[in-house]
Amino acid sequence: MAQEYQHLRNIKRKSKNPDAFIDPFMASITFCQGNRGSGKSSVDELIAEEHFKMGHTVIDLHSAGNYESLYWCIKHDCRKFWDKWRAEQEKLPDNMIKQDEPLHCDCDTRYKIILVVPDYVEFDESALDEFNGRFYSKSEWSDLGHIDYGKLVTKSTGEKVRELPVRSDYVEWIKVRKLTIPNKGYKNRDQFVSELTNIMLMGQREKRIVVLNPIFYKDIPHKLVTLEKILREIPAIVQTNFKAMTPRTVAELRGVDEPVPFGKWTPQEENRHRVTILMREFGSLVSSQLTEERNQVIVKKAIFALVKVLRHFHLSLVGDFQRANDIYSGVREQRDYFVWKCSNIDIVSEDYQWLRTDIKLRRDEIIEKGLPAQAYALFPNIEDLKPNQMYVLYPQKNELGNRYKLFTVKMPSFHHHQADDDFEVETGIIKETVNRKGTWRHIIKTKEGEMVESERDRLNEDKKVREANMTKVFDIANALMHPSDPTKKKMKALEVFSHLGDLGIRPDGWTMSAFRKWLQRERNKRGL
């Protein structure tokens, strides 16, 4: 059995379509370029969805801060609407002009997600329960033949609440898990890695998409440092915890006694150890031109380190950007597949001008045969691609040189976020602000009154910074009033107080009297 398993495992599964650009049975990097609004993110989602359906654990790691990445769990039955619309168009008489079918969402399903948020985010459970459809409504409960709607229970605090009946078909579409913000010096690394590992394993075990979104972070540095550490830690987490299946572990997963030969595994069992990272707005993280703050630089370095090794860890990466030239070349050149959506001439970099030239040459060859309509249908310019079209540039070359192909692309089967969609309106999961009551919020203390760990870390770091600043103030003040060089003039306290103000390091709100008292206390502490 073991010998058969080893032999069969070395035979690479062949794709039914030799032109396929989605291969879930191997690690790959796919980048997508196109104009704003050209449909890049829907291609990202389509690839990630196919990987997920074939057994990968998918981590939707970066996107716009508008809940875009949470739409995996949304279904509006758009496919049903467009099927009906299409049927109605077909019934129109021949003398009526039929409308062209636009590119549209085609959703008919949804997926469970793990929403990963910082430890300082608090959700109202009632909002999550409402979205997840956890409880029967009063009328539904009555229709099932029940008289009483829930029962009164007394909590430990003495408060009486009504326990609502849980639906028999309840699905927890959104499950929230918290991830601690890495602190200064990354002293909480063990905790961070443990939490991230448990989240990823839960995604694998419960077949959930792991989702992060910038909207849940208090500030950009928190988002970036968390992103950087995730990118750094994922390879080791996968290597340690996401092991390729064996006949014995497949049997354990199925709950049977006999080892399952490799040839009888499902695609999901073959790919159970694989992980796909989806990064919308990828270009904003690896820009080659913009002046960046430190945290942006460390994210770029983490991505650069990851793309060089991810194939060794069964990791795939999917990302998009508007212009290839804006992407750090050390990252861009690591790609396997390059997807071209509609791209204006001015965003096609010199590296890919050969593609535009080759498309024109092939089109001209067909035009010379007297088939202009067919020529433009088979080889449209990159800037003329329709919303549902794209060119795919393959990693392999053929006898004619670089290999590419035109595709008509479909939409993912969950609801694709569109410009007019509003997640808060659709779900009732609403960010709380100063002027608006919401169902999730940033907190400093938990309901139990305990300080949130990341907030405690921040206060400790602020305290250290203040102490360091005050030490600096004392050293300057003491040196000016008691110079070690006897030839230098001793400054009076009032002069020093004024000088500290000129330097911009005198604490706000200090009076001359408070300065004198503080200075004397500090000298006493130091035995001066």
For 301-356, the pLDDT digits (tens) are: 999 999 999 989 999 999 998 887 778 888 888 899 999 999 998 888 877 888 89
Select the highest-mean-pLDDT range: 253-257, 397-401, 456-460, 521-525: 253-257
- Considering only residues 372 and 273, tell me which one the structure prediction assigns the higher pLDDT: 273
462 versus 130: which is more confidently predicted?
130
Asked whether residue 115 carries a pLDDT value surpassing 90, the answer given is: yes
Question: What pLDDT shows up at residue 3?
Answer: 47
Residue 275, pLDDT above cutoff 90:
yes
pLDDT recorded at residue 495:
86
pLDDT in tens, 198-221: 999 999 999 999 999 999 999 888
Residues 6+ apart with CB under 8 A from 74: 107, 110, 414, 415, 423, 426, 427
pTM recorded for the entire structure: 0.84
- For residue 73, how many other CB atoms are within 10 A of its CB? 23
151-154 and 160-163 strand pairing = antiparallel
User: So what's the pLDDT on residue 1?
Assistant: 42
Q: Is 483 helix (H, G, I), strand (E, B) or coil?
A: coil
Q: What pLDDT sits at residue 16? A: 65
Mean pLDDT of all residues in 294-302: 86
Q: Give dist(CA 485, CA 495) in Å, integer.
A: 18
Write out the E strands in 171-287.
174-179, 209-211, 275-279
- pLDDT for 380 equals 95
Three-class SS state of 178: strand
Please check whether residue 61 is in contact with residue 67, taking contact to mean a CB–CB distance below 8 angstroms.
no
Instruction: Give the residue-averaged pLDDT of 284-303.
Output: 78
Q: What percent of the chain has pLDDT over 90?
A: 52
Place of tokens 């969950």: 414
Q: What percent of the chain has pLDDT over 70?
A: 95
8 pLDDT more than 60? no
Q: Taking residues 414-428, what's their average pLDDT?
A: 93
Q: Tell me if residue 222 falls in helix, strand or coil.
A: helix
pLDDT tens for each residue of 51-103: 999 999 999 999 989 999 999 999 999 999 999 988 888 888 877 777 777 77
User: Residue 253 above 80 pLDDT?
Assistant: yes
- Of the two residues 291 and 224, the one the predictor is more confident about is 224
Cα angle value 464/465/466 (rounded, 5°): 90
Q: How far is CA 103 from the centre of its chain?
A: 25
pLDDT tens across 162-189, in order?
788 888 889 999 999 999 999 988 999 9
